[in-house]
Amino acid sequence: MSVLRSFLFFLGAGAASAVAVLCLWIDVRVFDNNIPEISLTEIVQESVLAIIVLIHFALAGRYALLRYCNILVGGFFLAMLIRELDAVFDLISHGSWVWFALFSTLCTLIYPLRHYRHTLSQLAQYTRTPYYGMMLSGLLAVLVFSRLFGMHGLWYSILEAGYARVVKNAVEEGSESFGYMLCLTASIGYYCYFRYLARTSTAAGA
């Protein structure tokens, strides 16, 4: 049964990765744009982040097991979501997303810091879950690889001054979307695994 679950998980992860590429294709070929702030790719990225936030906050609200850890993870992705929605917050004031991100970060830090010993213990437990590696890989793709691979200087050196900006945008946003899909897949897998742990813990205590 575990082999079947692993195979199904692989298929789900593959489908999520394919969705990231499909969004790029639709933006470039159907909508004929260079993937601006308001595009299918960006909307899907923001939706994925919102789902990840909801998953971890739902777990934190429902289960005491790893509650502080889930609050921190949910708060981290909430800050990333606010950053992705910078164009919306610019309607209020240019760069105002920073203040909203800081406020949300402070709110999510208060409770875990009050119980920092439990928080550290739960974070250590989280790193031992089967989906931590995939989550870490996704974050590396989003925060490091996509940023470095999307540098203007790199693409100028490869394709010189006349390069089409859509090429750079497609590569950067594609790498970012792939990373977000990894994080989403890891979060869904973690959600199922976490519920199994919670049921096991409840049964053991009964």
Q: What letter would DSSP give residue 174?
A: H
What whole-number distance in Å separates Cα of residue 123 and Cα of residue 66?
8
Sequence spans of domains, the chain: 2-205
pLDDT bracket for residue 1 (50, 70, 90): very low
CB distance 79 to 101 below 8 Å: yes
Mean pLDDT, the chain, whole residue set: 89
Tens of pLDDT, residue by residue over 19-61, are 999 999 999 888 877 788 789 999 999 999 999 999 999 999 9
pLDDT above 90 as % of the chain: 59
**pLDDT over threshold 60, residue 206:** no
What whole-number distance in Å separates Cα of residue 146 and Cα of residue 179?
9
Q: How many CA atoms lie within 13 A of 128 on its CB side?
A: 8
Q: What is the pLDDT of residue 136?
A: 96
What whole-number distance in Å separates Cα of residue 206 and Cα of residue 189?
26
CB distance 176 to 148 below 8 Å: no
